[in-house]
Amino acid sequence: MRGLKYQLKSVSRDKFCLMTFLLPILVAVALNFMGSIDLSTLGELHFGVLENDLSPQTVTWLERYGPVMAYQTPEELTAAIKEPSTNVIGVNANGDSIKTAISGDELDIFQQAAATLPALYEQRAEAELVKVLTLERPDILESFQYIFIPAVLIVAMFMGCTFNAMNIISEKEDGVAFVNEILPMTPCQYILQKVVVGFLFGSLSSIITACICFQLSWNHWGLMLALILLSSFVAALIGLFTGKLSEGLMIGVVYIKIIMLVFIAVPVLCALIGVSGPLAVVCNIVPSQPAFDGIMALSAGNMGTAAKDAGILTVHAAAWFLLYVLTAAPRRHR
Amino acid sequence: MGKGFCALFKKDCRMLVSGKFFLMAIGFLILYTAYVNLGYIRFMQMEPYNVYLYDPAGIQTEKSPLVQIVSSMEDMDTALLSDANGVGLDSSTGEVRVVLYKGAEHVDRHRADYALSLLEPSASPAPEVLGTNTPEQKARKEITCELLFFELAAVGFLGIAAVLFKEKGMGVIRVHAILPARKDLFLLSKLAVFLLSDLAFAVLLTLLNVGLADGAAVLPAILLQTAILSLMMALVGLLCALLLKDFRQFTLAYLVIAIFAATPVFLSANTSIKFDWIGYHPFYHVYMGLKNAYFGTAISSVYYAGTVGAILLLFLVVRLAFHREIGKEG
């Protein structure tokens, strides 16, 4: 217990470790903050018009669908339409009707909106009479955030890896690793102390991130907690391996970056491409894949898949622990 | 002077090879290319809203072929539940009623009116197309630009600092203080190595992801912007390596730069989210320079004057810090 106290004390003085612990939480707060104000406007239509070209009634009608920006000259309007970061639709008067202009590089949804806008304008009087029944969206994650939030949570879960790797590398650099060799401490105690530090910080970071990002029911929280604890444990063990293998701080940083990239890229690509069959089973070798899949399943309310993923993570935890005990730990006896 | 520069240049190249800098760059190049071609292009597609019609009496005879018929209200509910952006039209009572899941207010109005317009399609004039890029070309240029910027400003920057801290740790600066070569050559050879490797990376990344024909057309402008960004980041990396005590301190500065400085720039430059203060963010202008190069948009001469001034200023500051470091060592 005393050893653990020293480990925690050493980590608490390490700014790098504290920063990595705080980073996912800050990103989660930023994502939540952005989600509440901005992301819905990304799918909105933006219109560009020439000053004094359209009647005020037409501009008011356009404003029902999205913000309207008036430009002084046709050149300014053309530049705004062509600007690649926005999807501005140019609207000009065309006798009693309107005509539209686009850049041509917009997504299909915006091109279709521009193509049908004159028809909408002609039918505006009839459209106002129609009843619209708006249903509340089911409690699923917003489309833009659905992949970011599990990705941030994955980063938080696997922060334990960074903690442990950095911790062991700095012990090596400061010569503490040699002192550890002669301390009256068994390999099991050593592993336990090291794993607990990364595990505690990784889990804590993930739990806070999950609290900020998810509104889950209590029974879902049980499974979420299981996913978090298991992934953090596996990550802490992988961190020990990384620390052992790294010769110096710089090599360690490169290894951590590669591990982090693989941990994020595999599940995100699997989710985007929709991998299935034997390849999906192979992807489970990367421990972040079942964790990510489990979180996605939980957010969609699919308890069965989440439980299966928790099972895969349990196998991972046992396998990594055995691997560490069998390979890395016995060297300490020599 | 030329001989001294060549010797230093060769030494720096060997240093980068032994530090696995080139290997890491090739690894990232493969990763980025796989991401663009396998993931991003497929992800960046947004089809028009699906419209589902329940019309048991068959009143809607003029409907567009884009409208999908459902046989019951239950089927419509199921369709809308799995496709929350879709719009349902219920014509069972004689009058048309629009059913949709709540989203952003403006978008909902447009979705409803768009769905209704499909019941009585009219031939409206096709929109005038002003640009030359297709959606895929735009997506490819946009993501390649982001990745190149990220690579130069974050990943490459980390590599630069890692190499420089290693040299500092090995005492190369101390040795250099007594070498019979001009002191500025040390800085110039570093800048040249990183500049050349960044330019090579930019060429490969652009040609592999934007395409040979499209990429080659905009390559000269991209190389100019890459050179500006590469010189700036190499100089900032040099400054960090000279001023900060160790690599650990640097990683803190790096994390702040990579996450908090780059995110608002990406958001402002690539989406309709525009921050009022973004004009004061130096990265924003550099990023926009690179982006304008990819899209073939004209870049103002004020920007070039500003970047040349910034590079000269950074070089002078780095030179000062380097001479101070040599003085300390000597």
pLDDT band, residue A330 (cuts 50/70/90) = very low
Taking the Cβ of residue B202 and every Cβ of chain A, the question of whether any pair is shorter than 8 Å is answered with no
B84 contact A CB<8A: yes
Higher pLDDT, residue B277 or B187:
B187
Report residue B267: phi and psi, to 5°.
-65, -45
Chain B CB contacts of A136 below 8 Å: 101-102
By DSSP bridging, strand A97-102 and strand A88-94 are antiparallel
Q: Which residues of B touch A107 (CB under 8 A)?
A: 44-46, 135
CA distance A45 to A153: 32
Looking at the DSSP assignment, which residues form a beta bridge with residue A50?
Answer: A71
Chain B residue at shortest CA distance from A65: B106
Question: What's the confidence (pLDDT) of residue A139?
Answer: 46
CB within 8 Å: A100 and B110: no
Q: Which of residues 96-115 of B touch A (CB under 8 A)?
A: 96-104, 106-110, 112-114
CB of B289 closer than 8 Å to CB of B218: no
HEC per residue, B55-67: CCCCCCCCCCCCE
Residue of A nearest to B94 (CA): A130
What count of other Cβ atoms lies within 10 Å of the Cβ of residue B303?
Answer: 16
Cβ distance of B81 and A265 shorter than 8 Å = no
Per residue in B173-197, pLDDT (tens digit) is 777 777 777 777 888 888 898 899 9
Closest alpha carbon to B199 in B187, B209, B188, B207:
B207
More confident residue, A236 or B266: A236
User: Over chain B, what is the mean pLDDT?
Assistant: 81
Q: Check residue A141 and give its pLDDT.
A: 44
More confident call, A127 vs B233: B233
Confidence of residue B257 (pLDDT cuts 50, 70, 90): low
At residue A37, the pLDDT reads 43
For residue A184, give how far its alpha carbon lies from the nearest alpha carbon of chain B (Å). Answer: 31
Tell me what pLDDT residue B199 has: 93
Count other C-beta atoms under 10 Å from residue A93's C-beta: 15
Predicted confidence band at A38 (pLDDT cuts at 50, 70, 90)? very low
Q: Is A182 on the interface with B (CB under 8 A)?
A: no
CA distance A223 to A240: 26
Q: Name the token pair of A50.
A: 């020439």
A87, A97, A272 member nearest B43 (Cβ) = A272
Report pLDDT digits (tens) over B18-48.
777 788 788 888 888 888 887 777 766 667 7
| DSSP result, A214-272 | ----HHHHHHHHHHHHHHHHHHHHHHHHHHHH-SSHHHHHHHHHHHHHHHHHHHHHHHH
The CA radius of gyration of chain A, in Å to the nearest whole number, is 27
Percent of chain A with pLDDT over 70: 84
* pLDDT at B312 exceeding the cut of 90: yes
The residues near B7 (Cβ < 8 Å, ≥ 6 apart) are: none
The sign one gets for the Cα dihedral B301, B307, B310, B315 is negative
Q: Which residue has the tokens 């909105």?
A: A44
User: Strand pairing partners for A71?
Assistant: A50
B20 near A CB under 8 A: yes
CA B304/CA A135 separation, integer angstroms: 53
Residue among B124, B134, B170 with most chain A CBs within 10 A, to mutate: B124
Compute the radius of gyration of chain B from its Cα atoms: 28
A10 touches chain B (CB under 8 A): no
Task: Work out the average pLDDT over A210-216.
Answer: 74
Q: Which pLDDT score is estimated for A15?
A: 66
Look at residue B43 in the predicted model and tell me its pLDDT.
Answer: 65
Least reliable range by pLDDT among A6-20, A61-75, A300-314? A6-20
The runs of H, that is alpha helices, within chain A are 2-12, 15-37, 56-63, 74-82, 108-122, 124-129, 148-157, 159-174, 176-182, 187-213, 218-245, 249-273, 278-283, 288-299, 303-327
Q: Which of A1-5, A237-241, A251-255, B46-50 has the highest mean pLDDT?
A: A237-241
- Put simply, the chain A residues between 230 and 289 with a CB less than 8 A from any chain B CB are 249-250, 253-254, 258, 261, 265, 268-269, 272-273
> Does any CB of chain B come closer than 8 Å to the CB of residue A94?
yes
Mean pLDDT of A286-309: 84
CB contact under 8 A, B95 and A131: yes
Residues in chain B: 330
AA identity, residue A325: V
Q: How many beta-carbon pairs under 8 angstroms link A with B? A: 217
Using CA atoms, how far apart are residues A192 and A197, in angstroms rounded to an integer? 9
CA of A119 vs chain B CAs: smallest distance (Å): 6
d(CA A246, CA B292): 41
Most confident of A78-92, A179-193, A234-248, B208-222: B208-222
Tokens representing B255? 């994390």
Rounded to a whole number of angstroms, the distance from the CA of A322 to the nearest CA of chain B is: 31
Least confident of A4-13, A68-77, A258-267, B21-30: A4-13
On average, the pLDDT of chain A sits at 78
The pLDDT score that the predictor gives to residue A314 is: 92
Determine the Cα–Cα distance for residues A264 and B155; give it in Å rounded to an integer. Answer: 16
Residues 122-141 of B with CB under 8 A from A: 122, 124-135, 137-138, 141
Mutate to test the interface with A, among B128, B143, B266 (most CBs of A within 10 A): B128
Comparing alpha-carbon positions, the chain A residue that sits nearest to B40 is: A272
What pLDDT band is residue B274 in, cutting at 50, 70 and 90? low
Nearest beta carbon to residue A122 from set B101, B112, B122: B122
- Report the range out of A328-332, B152-156, B223-227, B325-329 with the highest average pLDDT: B223-227
Mutate to test the interface with B, among A130, A137, A167, A257 (most CBs of B within 10 A): A130
Instruction: Decide if B16 contacts B22 (C-beta within 8 A).
Output: yes
Helices (H), chain B: 2-18, 21-34, 41-43, 73-82, 105-117, 135-150, 156-170, 172-177, 183-210, 212-243, 247-255, 262-270, 282-295, 301-329
User: What is the rounded average pLDDT of the residues A18-38?
Assistant: 67
Q: How far apart are CA B79 and CA B73, in angstroms?
A: 10
pTM: 0.70
The reported pLDDT for the residue numbered A56 is 86
Which chain A residue lies closest to B19 (C-alpha atoms)? A251
Q: Give, in order, the Cα–Cα distances in Å from A94 to each of A114, B82, B124, B262.
A: 14, 39, 11, 43
Q: Which residues contact A214 (CB under 8 A, 6 or more apart)?
A: A149, A224, A299
Q: Are A317 and A234 in contact (CB under 8 A)?
A: yes
Q: Best residue in B54, B95, B96, B107 to probe A by mutation, most A CBs within 10 Å? A: B107
Q: Which residues pair with B110 in a beta bridge?
A: none
Q: Which residues of B touch A74 (CB under 8 A)?
A: none
Q: State which amino acid sits at residue A181.
A: E
Looking at residue A36, its pLDDT comes to 47
pLDDT at B315: 92
* Separation of CA B273 from chain center: 16
